[in-house]
Amino acid sequence: LSAEKQPIKLSWRKIEWLQKDFLLLIESHKRVIYKVCYMYATDDELLNDLYQEIVMNLWRAYPSFRGESSPATWIYRISLNTCISYRRKSKHQIQAVTLPVNFEAFAEDDGNKSSQLRELYRLIHALNPLERALILLWLEERSYDEIARIVGISKNNVGVRLNRIREKLKNMSNQ
């Protein structure tokens, strides 16, 4: 095995520190993880499965996280890749449905904002996985550079695809 591929040997003290640090990281970014899950889940059971799968993948990758990107970027990338991979492996075909999600956690204003958010999620859920990932990151006000790094496409491609997705969403909402 090359130096990169050899297992990392950790002391119990280091493992305890990693666990505490990891739990703090997950706690501070759980809304991000749930938002990604909402984009790919059709029901609460799948939402919980995706969340658990993402946390497991984050934990597996955590000891080798080098900090070359922000923790949020790293979490987005693993979350999106996990959901997309899970969908590919899954036998069920995910269809666009209204999600039974507690949107009040995201909408701090009145009921109108909550219903608009519900409609936006319904429309986004009808997009393909890459389109969902791109629009989610754009809605989170991530830069085109950061979106490109997370999704693995060029910055220019991000701009072109986002313009098409916004147009597609506009057309879907007018139907």
Question: pLDDT tens digits, residue range 68-84?
Answer: 888 999 999 999 999 98
Q: Is 76 left (phi over 0), alpha (psi -120 to 50) or beta?
A: alpha
Q: Rounded distance, CA 95 to CA 72, Å?
A: 28
Q: Which amino acid is at 31?
A: R
Q: Rounded distance, CA 28 to CA 30, Å?
A: 6
Cα atoms in the 13 Å half-sphere on the side-chain side of 29: 24
- The residue ranking higher by pLDDT, 106 or 20, is 20
pLDDT tier at 111, thresholds 50, 70, 90: low
Helix axes 144-151, 155-173, angle to 10 degrees: 100
Query: Are 49 and 34 within 8 A, CB to CB?
Result: no
